[in-house]
Chains A and B, each alone.
Chain A
Amino acid sequence: MNSFTYTRAEAVEAAVREKSASGKVKFIAGGTNLLDLMKENVERPTRLIDINRLPLTKIEAAPDGGLRLGALATNADTAWNAEVEKRYPLLSQAILAGASPQLRNMATNGGNLFQRTRCYYFYDLATPCNKREPGSGCSAIGGYNRILGILGTSESCIATHPSDMCVALAALAATVRVTGKNGERVVKFEDFHRLPGDTPQFDNTLQPDEIVTAIDLPAEDFSRHFSYLKLRDRTSYAFALISVAAALQLEGNTIKEGRLALGGVAHKPWRDTTAEALLKGQPATEETFRRVAAKVVEGAKGYGHNTFKIELAKRAIMRALKQATEGMPVADAFQNSNP
């Protein structure tokens, strides 16, 4: 690790003020991804501001009847929170499908949004990477790219966002509460992360002096028909090759409302509202799901090693929607069989 100075923030306003100081200043919360990247010399902050003592650990009712997740509540406390389990089981399942119990005890909800890609070349200082070193090139295109993106990629970057939690948050239409020097603003989840374009060094749309204080879940009920299907190289403690968060509201066999987001395919959690529109008012049948799956991968592009993901994504979408319909989500972290 490089040398840096360490301070502890006691209030949100002070944290924001300190963050605007000169130099490479970073907030540290759980630290599970940041310290790892610092050990690899990918991140080299000159100053760390420890935000763990900020009063942002609560999970409480939001004014609109939804649920407000404090940015500093841990992933474990969130997944096993009684209200989250009851009203947003899709989120619980997605969180429990990611990382390990130790990491989930450390990682915070806010921090989860800032996870960086696990693209091998991003971690490998010996190779070019536009995300790590803008303008140096992309080694993944034409390189070993089995785990990388097929949707929304660019000539500069085909990295994927690694989070499971964020895929569920995208499907559930969460919003992110942010405080900066100019006060508070609310960001729609789909606008929080961004596509790489020709500036893949930016993972999200947050300004440098802003801090995430909470994530709000709207008061919609997707607690009966949902599935978080995660496909990976081993059944536990691995990043997704493809993950699908599917949530339905059914009236009989007719879909009143449908939500669909994918992980492991793009630079951001990939929610497809055009495909969702194809669910609305339709019967919950294989035929409907096939149409929706085809729509999602319409613009997909394979890069060789990862081309299999296009077909895999289609099948995973159909399966997740079927499981959601049947009210039998298999992504239960406790399930022992191979998905």
Chain B
Amino acid sequence: MPENPTHTSGAAITAPLPPVSPVTLRINGQERQLHIAPWTTLLDALREYLDLTGTKKGCDHGQCGACTVLVDGKRINACLTLAVMQEGRDITTIEGMGTEEKLHPLQQAFIDHDAFQCGYCTPGQICSAQGLINEGKAKTAAEIKELMSGNLCRCGAYTNILAAVQEVVEMELKIKN
């Protein structure tokens, strides 16, 4: 092997890569220590460094909603934020929503209403629906449709997704009133 390998393509590296730095994230109630480069998105941190693969990478550009997680109870696209920016916040992923023994009401409703086919968008749909419930703005089917529009489903299970979300929204409204 040559001691100084010649770059065969691209420009020469002119700046040294910055070292990885320690980042502490609070995910599903647990403090997790990571050593990552600053350009690691929250989505990549979850999937590639913490083995929390429930959160899905769809478009990686904030257009599909598959990567939706909750930060301090608010839904966001994990692909469009850096992990380091979320230090000190409370992050909830699909893994923190329910357990195998006791499903989250939204998880149960998605099963009851057959609200998915391939299931790839489902974790994002469920986290987004929880965010929608936390916001408390959507009450009717039309409002739920509009406020779930950041989550795409390529299988086209929208009708059943709407039914599942609406059931839980109505349940929550009953509890409140």
- The finding on whether chains A and B are genuine partners in a shared complex, rather than unrelated, reads yes
Residue A105 at the B interface, CB < 8 A? yes
Residue B115 at the A interface, CB < 8 A? no
Q: For A238, give the chain B residue with the smallest CB separation.
A: B149
Q: In the complex, are the beta carbons of A4 and B38 less than 8 A apart?
A: yes
Residue B123 at the A interface, CB < 8 A? no
Q: In the complex, are the beta carbons of B62 and A103 less than 8 A apart?
A: yes
Q: For A79, give the chain B residue with the smallest CB separation.
A: B137
Q: In the complex, are the beta carbons of B62 and A105 less than 8 A apart?
A: no
Q: For B19, give the chain A residue with the smallest CB separation.
A: A5
- Give the interface segment out of B26-34, B45-53, B68-76, B103-111: B68-76
Taking the nearest CB of chain A, how far is it from the CB of B61, in angstroms? Answer: 5
Q: In the complex, are the beta carbons of A4 and B39 less than 8 A apart?
A: yes
How distant is the Cα of A35 from the Cα of B39 in the complex, in angstroms? 9
A-B contact count (CB 8 A): 96
How distant is the Cα of A158 from the Cα of B72 in the complex, in angstroms? 40
How distant is the Cα of A52 from the Cα of B82 in the complex, in angstroms? 12
1/0 per residue, CB under 8 A from A, across B130-144: the answer is: 011001010010110
Q: B80 to chain A: which residues have CB within 8 Å?
A: 31-32, 35-36, 103, 106
A interface residue count range (under 10 / 10 to 19 / 20 to 34 / 35 or more): 20 to 34
1/0 per residue, CB under 8 A from B, across A1-32: the answer is: 11111100000000000000000000010111
Q: In the complex, are the beta carbons of B77 and A6 less than 8 A apart?
A: no
Say yes or no: A102-B150 contact (C-beta < 8 A), given A3-B39, A50-B85: yes
How distant is the Cα of A338 from the Cα of B82 in the complex, in angstroms? 36
How distant is the Cα of A39 from the Cα of B135 in the complex, in angstroms? 30
Q: In the complex, are the beta carbons of B128 and A52 less than 8 A apart?
A: no
Q: For A7, give the chain B residue with the smallest CB separation.
A: B38
Q: Which residue, A4, A39, A105, has most C-beta atoms of chain B within 10 A? A: A105
Q: For A1, give the chain B residue with the smallest CB separation.
A: B39
Q: A103 to chain B: which residues have CB within 8 Å?
A: 62, 77, 80, 150
Say yes or no: A102-B62 contact (C-beta < 8 A), given A4-B39, A6-B38: yes
Residue A101 at the B interface, CB < 8 A? yes
Residue B145 at the A interface, CB < 8 A? yes
Residue B81 at the A interface, CB < 8 A? yes
Q: In the complex, are the beta carbons of A236 and B41 less than 8 A apart?
A: no
Partner of B75, one of A2, A4, A102: A102
Residue A333 at the B interface, CB < 8 A? yes
Partner of B17, one of A3, A101, A106, A237: A3
Known pairs A76-B74, A103-B77, A336-B142. 6 more at Cβ < 8 A? Answer: A3-B15, A5-B18, A31-B80, A52-B85, A100-B62, A102-B68
